[in-house]
Amino acid sequence: MPKKTYRQAINEALRQEMERDPRVILMGEDVAGGMGSPGEDDAWGGPLGVTKGLMPRFGRERVLDTPITESAFIGAAVGAAATGLRPVAELMFVDFFGVCFDQIFNQAAKFRYMFGGKAKTPVVIRTMYGAGFRAASQHSQCLYPIFTHIPGLKVALPSNAYEAKGLLIQAIRDDDPVIFFEHKAMYDEEAEVPDEPYVIPFGEANLTREGDDVTVVAMGRMVNFANQVADKLAKEKIGVTVVDIRTTSPLDTETILETASETGRVVVVDESHPRCSMASDIAALVAQECFSDLKAPVKMVTAPHAPVPFSPALEDLYIPSPAKIEAAVREVLAFKG
């Protein structure tokens, strides 16, 4: 099977869905780039080149560069979705949600319910998240728990290139608004990705490792860190199950609870802040639903309750690391009730 980067997988998903369905359009800041400029067209293809080549293929009518006005164009994507298009809007960094959140959480998320089931808003908002780029406090956040909190939104976090293609195609075909989180540190990571289109259904977690001793529930880039830890500990005959939840909304509670009950020892890894996070949410779920199966308290590994720092020396301390995950796994294993 061909190997492709996370970036290529996302580009391919967009291209194939645009070929399949003329209602799929892209919009965002510099998704082509060079609009109105004297130099090259398709100058950028998105700030990190993810949408490169799509404008020359589909034209300016379907790949729309926007002014830097997130409220207007995210709102336009929502309005276009409610009236018959299937827009994929790019919110360059998720940190910019502060200037367009109304259009997402008060408009897109609520249309279906408020309008008595008569609205469909099939919009996808692709957005970059995560630390590790020395991009400091306003370009490095995770924030997916905030979107997960809102009924009416679906939230996907692909953990590798294969996942990215399948989850993005599902997002585009889905009739509900989907926030699609792409980790900026993963765009160059490769995985085997089929050439043909395929979908990965939402709300179905994936067991990337299976073991009997500890369950690690993770999402996005943290799945890879968890896998590294599982592989390392396997050499010590410690069995770690890694659950890639894939989507935080809908959440596959069944798989989480089943694996938690099987091992009785649970670590939740979440790159976001700890309060009101996916980690605290999943820890509460496990504590509430399978308390009697637990052999140790649930352990959370998260970023701290602090903005993302700039200095490499500080950012490296900030991000949940494989070492921190390993320590948490060893801690729950060592717990004697």
Partner 1 sequence: MQLSREELIHAYRQMRTIRAFEDRVHEEFAAGNIPGFVHLYAGEEASAVGFCMHLTDVDRIASTHRGHGHCIAKGCDVKAMMAEIFGKKDGLCGGKGGSMHIADLEKGMMGANGIVGGGPPLICGAALTAKTLGTGGVAIAFVGDGGSNQGTTLESYNLAKVWNLPAIFVIEDNGYAESTASSWSVAGSQVGRAAGFGMPGYEVDGHDFFAVHEVAREVIDRARKGGGPSLVHVRFTRYYGHFEGDAMTYRGKDEVPRIAAERDCLKLFRQRVVEAALLEPETLDAIDREVVAYIDRVTNEAKAAPMPTEADLLTDVYVSYH
Is residue 165 a contact partner of residue 193, using CB atoms and an 8 Å limit? Answer: yes
Q: State which of residues 12, 95, 163, 176 lies at the interface with partner 1 (CB under 8 A).
A: 176
Residues contacting 242, CB < 8 A, separation 6+ = 207, 208, 209, 216, 218, 223, 226, 227, 230
139 tagged catalytic: yes
Q: Which stretch binds partner 1 (CB under 8 A): 68-76, 138-146, 179-187, 299-307?
A: 68-76
Is residue 223 a contact partner of residue 159, using CB atoms and an 8 Å limit? Answer: yes
Tokens of 70: 């997130």
CA 99, CA 117: separation in Å to the nearest integer?
28
Q: State which of residues 3, 19, 41, 72 lies at the interface with partner 1 (CB under 8 A).
A: 72
Residues 285, 288, 291, 295, Cα dihedral to 10°: 40
Place of tokens 């997916």: 144
Binding of residue 76 to partner 1 (CB under 8 A): yes
Q: Which stretch binds partner 1 (CB under 8 A): 82-90, 183-191, 220-228, 328-336?
A: 82-90
Q: 277 to each of 94, 109, 143, 288, 304, how far by Cα in Å?
A: 16, 20, 9, 16, 11
The least CB distance from residue 119 to partner 1, in Å, is 6
The least CB distance from residue 70 to partner 1, in Å, is 8
Binding of residue 78 to partner 1 (CB under 8 A): yes
Task: Rank residues 62 and 273 by Cβ distance to partner 1 and give the closer one.
Answer: 62
- H/E stretch holding 301: strand 299-302
Binding of residue 79 to partner 1 (CB under 8 A): yes
Task: Rank residues 175 and 316 by Cβ distance to partner 1 and give the closer one.
Answer: 175
Counting residues that bind partner 1 (by CB under 8 A) gives: 50
Q: Which stretch binds partner 1 (CB under 8 A): 105-113, 158-166, 187-195, 268-276?
A: 105-113
Query: Sign of the C-alpha dihedral, residues 139, 93, 203, 116?
Result: positive
Binding of residue 251 to partner 1 (CB under 8 A): no
Q: State which of residues 81, 146, 245, 308 lies at the interface with partner 1 (CB under 8 A).
A: 81
Binding of residue 278 to partner 1 (CB under 8 A): no
CA 229, CA 216: separation in Å to the nearest integer?
10
Binding of residue 77 to partner 1 (CB under 8 A): yes
Q: State which of residues 21, 40, 56, 114 lies at the interface with partner 1 (CB under 8 A).
A: 114
The least CB distance from residue 236 to partner 1, in Å, is 38
Task: Rank residues 120 and 232 by Cβ distance to partner 1 and give the closer one.
Answer: 120
Residues contacting 136, CB < 8 A, separation 6+ = 308, 309, 310
- H/E stretch holding 88: strand 86-93
The least CB distance from residue 3 to partner 1, in Å, is 30
CA 96, CA 308: separation in Å to the nearest integer?
15
- Give me the amino acid identity at 59: G
Q: Which stretch binds partner 1 (CB under 8 A): 50-58, 168-176, 305-313, 314-322?
A: 168-176
Place of tokens 């590798």: 160
Residues contacting 231, CB < 8 A, separation 6+ = 209
Binding of residue 203 to partner 1 (CB under 8 A): yes
Catalytic residues: 139
| Interaction site with partner 1 (CB under 8 A) | 23, 25, 61-62, 64, 66-67, 69, 71-85, 87, 102-103, 106-107, 110-120, 151-152, 154, 174-176, 201-204, 250
